[in-house]
Amino acid sequence: MLKMKALTCEYHQNLLGTDLPIPRFTWQIQSDKRNTYQKAYRIQVTKINNNFKNPFWDSGKIESNQSLHVSYEGEAVSPRTRYFYRVKIWDNFNRESEWSTIQWWETGLLNKDNWVAKWITPNPNFFDPKSKPISMLRTTFQAQREIQSARIYTTAAGVYELYLNGKKVGEDLLAPGWTSYTHRHQYQTYDVTDMISDGKNGIGVMIADGWYKGELTWLSKREIYGSERAFLFQLHIQFTDGSEQVIISDNSWKSSTGPILLSEFYEGEMYDARLEKDHWTTSDFNDSEWIETEEFPLPFDQLVAQENWPTRVTEVLYPKEIIKTPSGETVIDMGQNMVGRVRMKLNLPAGRHIKLYHAEVLDKEGNFYTGNLRKANQRVEYISKGTAEESYAPYFSFQGFRYVKVEGLSEVDEQTLLSSFVGEVMHSDMNVTGEFTSSSELVNKLYKNIVWGQRGNFLDVPTDCPQRDERLGWTGDAQIFIRTAAFNYNVAPFFTKWLHDLKSDQTTNGTVPFVVPNALGDYISSMWGDKNYTSSAWGDAATICPWIIYQCYGDKRLLEEQYPSMKAWVDYIRAQGANEYLWNTGFHFGDWLALDSEENSYFGATPEHLVATAYYAHSTRILRDAARVLDKMDDEHRYNELLTGIINEFRKTFIAKNGRMITQTQTSNILPLIFNLVEGDTQKQIANDLNQLVVKNDFHLNTGFVGTPYLCIALSENGYHKTALRLLLQETYPSWLYSVKKGATTIWEHWDGIKEDGSFWSDDMNSYNHYAYGAIGEWLFRYIAGIDLGKGEIAYKKITIQPRISDYGLNSANASLESPYGNIRSSWQVDQNQVLVEVEIPVNTMADIILPGAQVMYISEGGGELNERPEIRVSSYDSENVTCTVGSGIYTFSYKKTNSLVTN
């Protein structure tokens, strides 16, 4: 059995609407033989489904083991065209596969010249652009003859929902998403072939302010990108006779307002069902009282096809209980801190005014608590029209919450409330790729909290938090968490889109804003000036994020696209101050929110310039390595020399003659270990100091945003894995499991967001859904389960399976990762002295499996002796480990522990 599976084009099984002129293909392979790898492939592309007799492009048989990101090399693609493709491969057993199933991709408009539609906006003489009610636009058209296919290309200045003949077009929410609109404005493509009726049809769209002109940031800024809502629409209908009809947005469209009186991300939404205009998106609706629209002078140059996964409802949660608080409030408990919206279904008399308030936690008395929301009201109001069962959920707002306070339904019994409300979870609709479990239920709950934190904050951009008056794409949080994110979900398109915005918002001198898209620019500039509008560890997202995507997915094209941005960032740092090898000037967040900070300070005790210079070295190393990958030899040499200078200056400035860091904080010892700034005896000394600092703190951490992601990694890599395990399993404050014990269902912004006595950290900055400290997830996968990239390898072509099986704390762990090549799994358990390790390696890869505490003669695999398995090569062994090198397949190793497992 040799089969092709999981064909994708640019990460999508079927990609509808792309502006990429040269798409790339990826496939996975299924085999019934161990140690299978690809020897050759062949790709065919056609414009006619199931007809490959005269393909549009045929690669021919290519001798290569490449199965990721294989570029299309045929004739130039045309706009608005669907292309079908299939793949077959040959393997090392001289087998030829059957052709794969047929997949397709379809181009969008490709460039601005193919737009014939006009941007339109409600007539400002009748509709104040600053008014709160949501805009409703509509038109009708006549389908002229028998339809073969139909596509809509559309976007908005604002956020929109589109309807055709009374039905919503697509499942996307909050389209077109949030980008740096002045540079890049996404449009969406929809296949509406089956939605168009013979004869007359109706189109309607609702447009809200959204990120484009709505309120953003705690500064209550509005109209960051523009002052008026606008809409762009182009429908192409292909008829069976070969002719085409094009329907566009122009000033013949009409506009009005309706039941949505207000919709904002922070404020919430207000909906008066009595103002509904029934059937307003159908062809026979009477719009004689509606007002004609106006054309609006927005450009077309910045339009790009959808890049990110769209935002959708991905799960529905049902309430756990109804709570009557000591204050007499009626509160619905969803049982999970989630991001999205509440949908209600109720039979109500006309004019009933219902108010829903959203919060993450209850206070220590059990009352509804909203102090940490700051100015964000998170309020949804609904006024009923009194006709049959009414169903409603906010259209253009999302909330971060576990608890919902209900007002206006005091007479409704608890059972009816429980059955009338559901929570609709919203986020970018990424594919799940990772799972992790262990013998500790608390650790398992921690991992679930990490995943829920990612779901809540990966809503089109990587936000810091989803509930208060912020919800911004903080660069520091993103780079801290990206490796963990790539274990949990396929985040390549998500970060591709966001990094394109980072590059767009990067200033001409190379600085990277604190948040992307940049909603804070003029505020920060007024405080610190343009030249200092950045910070180490935050701006370093410019180098770290594209490099991690390259490492995890093998996406060389993204690396090449971002390379000028990466280079500009490092060159900006180099130009700061008098010493080109130190970054000791400007503003820095440092080890943000570290517990070793001074009273009432957000800044940790680790010197900010130590952090800045360490990250300077890290970004320079990444840039040097990227230059090597991209064959930029001059740059590689230049930045290697720069890196050498930075390391030498770091050692001279921040390390004492006795080989110890001049500042003894946990983070100051973590960074030189993680960023390879020390070696030999100095490395051993600093690792020992780090271990001692943790031990003397009774195995508690005191790190902030910079140190926490790397703390356990630094310990495990330098011989102190048991200390790292004790940190993980610590249940008292401050620790990862402290919040779990306190009932957290997501990751907190502060280690003591809820204190031992039940009181709260300051309302000023106390999110209960803040994913940064969830970066421990990377360590769970790489060091507990043991799934990692092979040294110097990308995309898991060569895998290292090295579970740190310990005599302390855990007796089993199981993790899987759907890598670009297929599923990787590592599972282990210890029962007294017996160790069982199960591993799955995908086709077209190989792996080093490192078995701790084993001796070669005592290892069995699949019930047989190891020396009876010629496909398994013992590549090395010593007194502590046995390393087996294998190809694809499922392997089950069993051995009696004769040596100590990891105990230090």
Which residue numbers are catalytic?
470, 749
Q: Quote the tokens at residue 588.
A: 């820095």
Q: Which letter does DSSP use for residue 631 in this model?
A: T
Beta bridge partners of 801: 787, 849
Alpha-carbon gap, residue 77 to 23, rounded angstroms: 10
* Helix, strand, or coil (residue 751): coil
DSSP codes, 483-551? HHHHHHB--HHHHHHHHHHHHHHS-TT----SBSS-SSHHHHHHHH-GGG---TTTTTHHHHHHHHHHH
DSSP codes, 326-340? TT--EEEEEEEEEEE
Q: Which residues of 796-829 are buried (b: 16+ CB within 10 A; e: fewer)?
A: bbbbbbbbbbbeeebbebbbbbbbbbbebbbbbb
Alpha-carbon gap, residue 571 to 630, rounded angstroms: 18
Alpha-carbon gap, residue 558 to 439, rounded angstroms: 39
Query: In terms of DSSP bridges, do strands 268-272 and 379-383 run parallel, antiparallel, or are they unpaired?
Result: parallel
* Amino acid (1-letter code) at residue 318: Y
Characterise 63 by phi-psi region: left (phi > 0), alpha (psi -120 to 50), beta (else).
beta
C-alpha distances in Å from residue 208, one per residue of 223, 314, 426: 12, 22, 18
* Amino acid (1-letter code) at residue 6: A
C-alpha distances in Å from residue 36, one per residue of 32, 60, 427: 9, 22, 37
Q: Quote the tokens at residue 434.
A: 């990772």
Q: Collect all residues with Cβ–Cβ distance below 8 Å to 207 and sequence separation of at least 6.
A: 134, 135, 136, 137, 156, 158, 159, 160, 229, 230, 231
Nearest to 404 by CA among 390, 385, 420: 420
Dihedral (CA of 614, 620, 623, 627) sign: negative
Alpha-carbon gap, residue 582 to 568, rounded angstroms: 17
CB neighbourhood size of 48 (10 A): 13
Nearest to 302 by CA among 155, 135, 459: 155
The number of angstroms, rounded, from the C-alpha of 385 to the middle of its chain's C-alpha atoms is 39
Helices (H) and strands (E) in the chain, counts: 16, 48
C-alpha distances in Å from residue 238, one per residue of 51, 109, 148: 20, 15, 5
* Residue 151 contacts residue 223 (beta carbons within 8 Å): no
Q: What are phi and psi of 474, to 5 degrees?
A: -65, 125
634: part of which helix (H) or strand (E)? helix 633-654
Edge-to-edge strand list for the sheet holding 70-71: 2-9, 24-31, 70-71
Query: In terms of DSSP bridges, do strands 822-831 and 812-819 run parallel, antiparallel, or are they unpaired?
Result: antiparallel
Nearest to 769 by CA among 324, 327, 425, 364: 425
Alpha-carbon gap, residue 46 to 86, rounded angstroms: 9
Residue with tokens 């919430």: 268
Alpha-carbon gap, residue 749 to 769, rounded angstroms: 7
Alpha carbon dihedral 545, 548, 549, 555, in 10-degree steps, equals 120
